[in-house]
């Protein structure tokens, strides 16, 4: 009996202890709830983007994937990227790809051009004409397609003048080419020249080598009629010469600028003409003649500058 009572008592004690372990106090329950809430927040922060300070945005980014190796069969790129790019804008000049990519490329120095003071003369019907000379003073470079905007002033007023002919495509060192300006000009006080950008070429240059000689000259007097009533006279010079092709290629389209100089070595007349010549093979020659009106004193010598098409 005593043994049975002891067994019953031990069972009751264990039962009471079990019930006490199942029931927690309020502070313990609150602590457990806080622990569970913190664990849930950590899970949200760690594995989701719900919170603004999510680890998904704050975590260090993964290293960028290495670029895929270039395929061996792909053609090499022709694009050369330069940073910073050195952009050069050159108006009025057509540049080749080689010139654009050449770091040593340079334009012709406009300081090597020299324009003489214009000389005012009167033509056969008493209209004024200004004659000047353009000289390439460089000793080693050819001026390629030189162009100039020449403005003549009477005081502060620019005069309305025009150039009678174009300049040569190639002006070699030391060459002097005549420039004629026509229009209403009673007097002038100043001349300003704006040289447009021009390319340059090193000697011997691209122009075919021609030998142009003056064989003889004839001074003549011509007459004309203005408005069927006014008859006038003028002096002109016929220049007879010969062109010989000393280059290794055929030549055609020869142009000539002919200048007349008086005894004081001043321009007294000039003319531009495309010579009527057949196609000249290497070593061949052909004659030509040019009529040049003379508005100043009697000429003492003749000078010719030439150029060739397509060069």
Reduced to 3 states (helix: H, G, I; strand: E, B; else coil), residue 226 is: strand
**Could you tell me the sign of the dihedral formed by the alpha carbons of 267, 131, 109, 193, in that order?**
positive
Pairing of strands 141-144, 199-202: antiparallel
| Residue found by looking up tokens 């000689």 in the block | 213
Q: What share of the chain is helix, strand, coil (3-state, %, to 5)?
A: 20, 40, 40
pLDDT digits 0-9 by tens, 278-311 = 999 999 999 999 999 999 889 999 999 999 986 5
DSSP annotation string for 252-272: --EEEEEEEEETTS-EEEEEE
Are 287 and 241 spatial neighbours (Cβ–Cβ below 8 Å)? yes
Q: In this predicted structure, what is the pLDDT of residue 44?
A: 65
Q: In this predicted structure, what is the pLDDT of residue 167?
A: 93
Q: In this predicted structure, what is the pLDDT of residue 100?
A: 74
Residues near 48 by beta carbon (within 8 Å), at least 6 away in sequence: 54, 56
In angstroms, the CA 293 to CA 237 distance is: 6
pLDDT digits 0-9 by tens, 151-209 = 999 999 999 999 999 999 999 999 999 999 999 999 999 999 999 889 999 999 999 99
Domains, the chain, in order of start with CATH, read: 90-206 (2.60.40), 207-311 (2.60.40.10)
In angstroms, the CA 226 to CA 224 distance is: 7
In angstroms, the CA 247 to CA 238 distance is: 27
The residues of the chain scoring below 70 in pLDDT are 1-24, 43-75, 82-92, 310-311
pTM score, two decimals? 0.68
Tokens linked to 265: 């070595």
Q: In this predicted structure, what is the pLDDT of residue 104?
A: 79
């Amino acid at each position: 009996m005593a043994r049975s009572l002891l067994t019953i008592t031990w069972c009751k004690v264990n039962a009471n202890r079990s019930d006490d372990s199942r029931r927690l106090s309020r502070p313990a329950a609150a602590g457990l709830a806080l622990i569970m809430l913190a664990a849930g927040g950590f899970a949200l922060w760690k594995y989701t983007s719900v919170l603004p300070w999510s680890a998904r945005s704050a975590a260090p980014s993964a290293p960028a994937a290495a670029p895929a190796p270039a395929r061996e069969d792909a053609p090499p790129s022709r694009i050369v990227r330069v940073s910073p790019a050195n952009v050069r804008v050159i108006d009025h000049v057509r540049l080749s790809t080689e010139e654009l990519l050449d770091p040593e490329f340079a334009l012709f120095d406009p300081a090597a051009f020299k324009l003489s003071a214009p000389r005012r003369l009167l033509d056969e019907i008493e209209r004024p004409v200004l004659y000047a000379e353009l000289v390439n003073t460089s000793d080693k470079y050819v001026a390629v397609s030189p162009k100039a905007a020449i403005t003549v002033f009477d005081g502060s007023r620019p005069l309305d003048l025009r150039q009678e002919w174009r300049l040569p495509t190639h002006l070699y060192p030391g060459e002097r080419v005549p420039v004629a300006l026509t229009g209403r000009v009673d007097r002038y006080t100043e001349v300003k020249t704006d040289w447009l950008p021009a390319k340059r070429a090193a000697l011997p240059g691209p122009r075919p080598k021609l030998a142009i000689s003056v064989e003889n000259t004839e001074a003549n007097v011509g007459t004309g009629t203005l408005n069927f009533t006014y008859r006038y006279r003028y002096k002109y010079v016929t220049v007879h010469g010969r062109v010989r092709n000393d280059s290794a290629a055929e030549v055609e389209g020869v142009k000539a600028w002919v200048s007349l100089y008086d005894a004081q070595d001043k321009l007294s007349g000039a003319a531009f003409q495309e010579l009527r010549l057949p196609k000249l093979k290497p070593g061949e020659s052909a004659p030509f003649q040019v009529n040049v009106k003379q508005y100043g004193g009697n000429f003492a010598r003749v000078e010719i500058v030439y150029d060739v098409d397509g060069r």
